[in-house]
Copies of this chain bind each other. A is one copy, B any other.
Amino acid sequence: MSSRLRVAVIGAGYWGPNLARNFRASHDWELAAICDLDRERAQRVADGVGGVPVTRSLDDVLSDPSIHAVAIATPARTHHPIALAALQAGKHVMVEKPLADERVRGAEMVELARDRSLVLMADHTYCYTPAVLKIHDLIAEGFLGEILFVDSVRINLGLIQPDVDVFWDLAPHDLSIMDFVLPGGLNASTVAAHGADPLRTGKSCIGYLAMPLEGGAIAHVHVNWLSPTKIRQMVIGGTKRTLVWDDLNPQQRVSVYDRGVDLVLQSKETADARASRISYRLGDTWAPALEEREALAEVAAEFAASIREKRNARTGGEAGLRVLSVLDAATCSLAAGGAPWLVDAHTVNEGALR
């Protein structure tokens, strides 16, 4: 299949223009339409990329047989109905994070896509940045050893969203990245969520997620809309090396420290004996060269490739679902005053596309 795939962008708000621009610039895609209930907003996006048809009608898009796929960038609560309609109409679907506003709805989307043999892709943009791709590869090669902890901080003076709390707004980034880079994905069995709403806006503006991982490891996320300083940092500690990703340091985003605590492992021994064999390494630091490349261009390419190769996307519906599982459990934990909550581990198999 050498001709271009045709895609419509649904939603012309904050993220839609970025999608439009990248589909427009891609050799895989022809941008077929911009669809938004607010026609003027759609027109502005269309003008910005040099003239693309606009429409207010989702039905028109879905009934157009020349359109292969849609990219959904509407408010989270509308992802589910729009995606279902698109899949019903035989379109491949990419959805802005989070995949849906509830796990059960996301599961329905994954199932329908599987049944129709259509690609359902979660637009986990960060997973396509040079930094995160590098982190994924380093962990996969065993460069860090076994993972001991992952600590992610994403704080900033952010818009208080009308419909979602800070967990649903920001944590999908951290969770999708963890799911992407950790071997076996983000396999947290429980999550404890601690939130605060000190301005009494009706939703958490500050949030913490603690997730025990297998083997005694832990993952933790700090998200915050009320911080005047901007921090976007993830520390991934391993038995061999520790990696720090500082996304706001363009001169050295990823640093790998050959520094840490060593432990000679032996079978059958007490914790005390173990403690006595701990030693400290003070090794070099290494920062891999990273290209400056726009992640969304890679997202567009992967969406096209998965359709053409009839395979699941790298951040497919299941990945989106695993993120929703944690967010759903976090919402429950929050309601329960911070008590750790079971994460629904019932996976929905995407199946193999035929």
- Interfacial residues, chain A to chain B (CB-CB below 8 A): 47-48, 50-51, 146, 148-149, 151, 155, 157, 159-160, 162, 190, 192, 194-203, 205-206, 208, 210, 212, 215-218, 220, 222, 224-230, 235, 237, 239, 242, 244, 251-252, 255, 257-261, 263, 270-272, 274-275, 278, 280, 282-289, 291, 337-340
Q: When the two chains form their complex, are residues A149 and B280 in contact, meaning their CB atoms are under 8 A apart?
A: no
| A257 lies within 8 A of B229 (CB) | yes
When distances are taken between beta carbons in the complex, the residues of chain B under 8 Å from A218 are 194-196, 198, 206
Given contacts A220-B208, A259-B157, contact A271 B201 (CB under 8 A): yes
Q: How many Å from the CB of A155 to the closest CB on chain B?
A: 8
Residues of B within 8 A of A288 (CB): 284
Q: A258 CA to B286 CA in the complex, in Å?
A: 11
Cβ of A197 and Cβ of B210 under 8 Å apart? Answer: no
- Give the complex CA separation of A208 and B215 in angstroms: 18
Pair B224/A198 contact, Cβ less than 8 Å: no
* Complex CA distance for A202 and B196, rounded to whole angstroms: 32
- Asked if B160 contacts A200 (CB within 8 A), the reply is no
Is there an interface contact between A208 and B206, defined as CB atoms closer than 8 Å? no
Residue in B202, B216, B270 whose CB lies within 8 Å of A197: B216
**B160, A275: Cβ atoms under 8 Å?**
yes
Give the interface centre of A201, A244, A282, A339 by most chain B CB atoms within 10 Å.
A201
The reply to whether A235 and B229 form a contact with Cβ atoms under 8 Å apart is: yes
Q: Are the CB atoms of B263 and A199 closer together than 8 Å?
A: yes
Please report the C-alpha to C-alpha distance between residue A237 and residue B287 in the assembled complex, in whole angstroms.
19
